[in-house]
Structure 1
Amino acid sequence: MQLQNILAQSPHEASVASARVRSFGQLTLGAPWRLELQHARASHLVMWITRGQGRATILGKRRGIGAHNALFIPAGTLMSMDLGKQCYGIAVDLPSHEAGILPKEVQHIRVRDVMAQNEVTAILDNMQREQSTHRAFGDEAARAHAGLLAVWMRRMLALEENKPNPRIPAAERLTAAFCSLVERDYRSGKPMADYAATLGVTPTHLSRACRQVGGVTAADIITERVLYAARDMLERGDLPIRLIAEMLGFSSAAYFTRFIQNQTKQTPSALRQAVRS
């Protein structure tokens, strides 16, 4: 089977078919690295935080998040999160092929109005109830509730329209462009210097911008994205380790094994076995 066909059939590459509601714990499938490492999701993601605090890094920009914050992260957007043990809330996966009236860009909405807080809570409660009862026409109901959620976000964003838009710093724009390239090309195995050349800057300048905006280097972002993909394929599938290494641009399975050991202190085989024992 050709590599492109295998990639297309990988579980982490498929968007949800209809809206799906989960807790933050369910979002990680019991493995915190699934949020903590840089990655992109195949579905649009809405997160509503009900308690606690954490940090989100989206397109390389680190931001604090807390109670009564909503995040919208479009499918294919590089991101990571450190939610902390006391951070609770609801996550909604939305099909990437049904953008409709959803925002086109990342949104971070701080909701101070109690009525608006209650409104989104009611929408999410109804989505959870519909999902758990498995009644007839569930997909249609899921789309309807997702539409209400989208309308709620648009209303919240409309309240911000009259406020002046701050100028986006050059370092932030560069970091976001780099993150988009990483998500596109992380399987290529190319070094950070090649990304810098594509962006027309030096590796030093690129890494300085990433550290300024998100607290990590450009090389760290590439490493985390590759590590996420590697762990996902190792722990959720049965592809041979040699093939996974090839899919992620490693010159040999031995080099891939060293990479995994350096990052996790375990071999690829041990990571795979740990989730099945």
Structure 2
Amino acid sequence: MAKTIPNYDLYGDQASPAWSNSFNFEWIPQRSKPYQWEIQVHRHDAFVQLLYLSAGSAEVTVNNARIRADAPCLIVIPAGAAHGFRFSPQVNGPVVTATQKVLESMATLLMPELLAVIRTPRVMPLSGDSRHMDSLMPLFLALERESRIHASGQTAAGMSLLTALLVQVARIAGAPDQGTRAEPAAGSRKNRQIEQFKALLDQHFREHWPVEQHAKAMGMTAGQLSRICREVLGMSALEVINARLVHEAQRELVYTSMPVKRLASELGFEDDAYFSRFFRRHTGLSPTVFRAQALTALTDATSVT
């Protein structure tokens, strides 16, 4: 039977929409101790995680690569990366989970170099004499305070602090000792094929390439591509293609005020009626109703409680 990697919001919690919460803060023992210090391999479709090991150690699994991490150490897990941890009982340190799309939008405007930091899984040992290391814990603690107060402007303050944190991560990553990029293991052929499929899909999903066209570009048959998708992702190649379109439509509906008719055209649909039927079939809601509900949820999440 094919093994499907679970998709979680936070480990052990069912995934929620990317726009429902902008960031979350917790300490490593909070999540790992109830699981006997071992977090099984899973993924987050919409969230990037930053972990700062201030004590203890961990064996980090990212995209089939296994890397030893000893405190002090920074770990970056971008959206979509399959990852798991085996922590030592002495481990400690903060974890921030944040909506990757929002951070990427801010990075594009403020410092495009941060995009590589956000999108690259990495384990970075920290030198005790690093001039950037002293800035890390104060920023994490400021994020913890912001996550607890539930005041107006929480999202804006949190994203600003996260951007400042990512700047420090970028400075550390750019130092001579850049740590270990978590690349797939040499033998993980199917994972590499899935990454190739995703890259093609990112380039061509607006053109509505059929499964056969993706498979041909990858040098395989449509049946082979779907079989690999089911083994690695637990869904067919067509379901992956449709999910990519739906996810992009959801993000545009939430983060832009683009009219539905124009959005349908941007996503390669012949007309807005066809797009609306497609969207409703996969989400159960019309684009207009989905936008209204998502924006209400986002407003509620960032308002004073």
TM range (shorter): 0.5 to 0.7
One-letter amino acid matched to 1:212? E
What is the aligned counterpart of 2:96 among 89, 94, 99? Answer: 89
Task: Summarize the alignment of residues 181-220 of structure 1 with structure 2, pairs less than 5 Å apart.
Answer: 181-220=200-239
RMSD: 5.2
Equivalent-residue separation in structure 2 for 1:101 and 1:260 (angstroms): 29
How many angstroms apart in 2 are the aligned matches of 1:212 and 1:171? 9
- Deviation, 1:179, is 0.5
User: 5+ unaligned residues in a row in structure 2: which ranges?
Assistant: 1-8, 32-38, 46-61, 65-72, 84-93, 147-152, 297-305
Partner SS state of residue 249, structure 1:
coil
The answer on 1:175 being equivalent to 2:189 is no
- 2:275 maps to 256
Amino acid at match of 1:245: A
Report deviation, 1:158.
5.5
User: Quick check: 1:123–1:149 contact (8 Å CA) kept in 2?
Assistant: no
- Kept after mapping to 1: 8 A contact 2:184/2:192: no
Cα deviation for residue 242 of structure 1 reads 2.1
Q: Distance in 2 between matches of 1:120 and 1:146?
A: 10
Q: TM-score, normalised by structure 1?
A: 0.57
SS in 1 for 2:18: helix
Residue of structure 2 aligned with 1:70, choices 75, 85, 88? 75
Rounded to whole Å, the distance in 1 between the matches of 2:292 and 2:240 is 27
CA distance, structure 1, for counterparts of residue 248 and residue 16 of structure 2: 14
Match of 2:50 in 1: none
> Which amino acid letter does the alignment assign opposite residue 96 of structure 2?
G
Aligned to 2:5: none
The separation in 2 between residues aligned to 1:257 and 1:99, in whole angstroms, is 37
Cα deviations by residue, 1:5-60 (Å, 9 ceiling, x for unpaired) = xxxxxxxxxxxxxxxxxxx89xxxxx922289xxxxxxxxx9997342582167xx
CA distance in 1, matches of 2:115, 2:233: 30
Distance verdict in 2 for CA 1:217–1:108, change over 3 Å? farther
Larger mean CA deviation between 191-200 and 214-223 belongs to 214-223
> What is aligned with 2:34?
none
**Is 1:120–1:152's contact at 8 Å kept on the other side of the alignment?**
no
SS at match of 2:113: coil
Residue type matched to 2:113 in 1?
A
Distance 2:274 2:138 in 1: 50
The equivalences for 1:89-168 within 5 A come to: 89-91=96-98, 93=103, 95-96=107-108, 97-99=111-113, 106-109=120-123, 120-125=136-141, 146-153=166-173, 166-168=185-187
Tell me, which stretches of 5 or more residues in structure 1 are unaligned? 1-23, 26-30, 37-45
Q: Distance in 1 between matches of 2:214 and 2:140?
A: 40
| Contact 2:264/2:271, CA 8 A, preserved across alignment | yes
In structure 1, what residue type is equivalent to 2:198?
C
SS at match of 1:34: coil
Using the TM superposition, give the Cα deviation of residue 255 of structure 1 relative to its aligned residue in structure 2, in angstroms: 1.9
Provide the aligned length of Structure 1 versus Structure 2.
220
Change (3 A) 1:100 1:274: closer
Deviations 1:250-270 (A, max 9, x none): 223222122111111111222
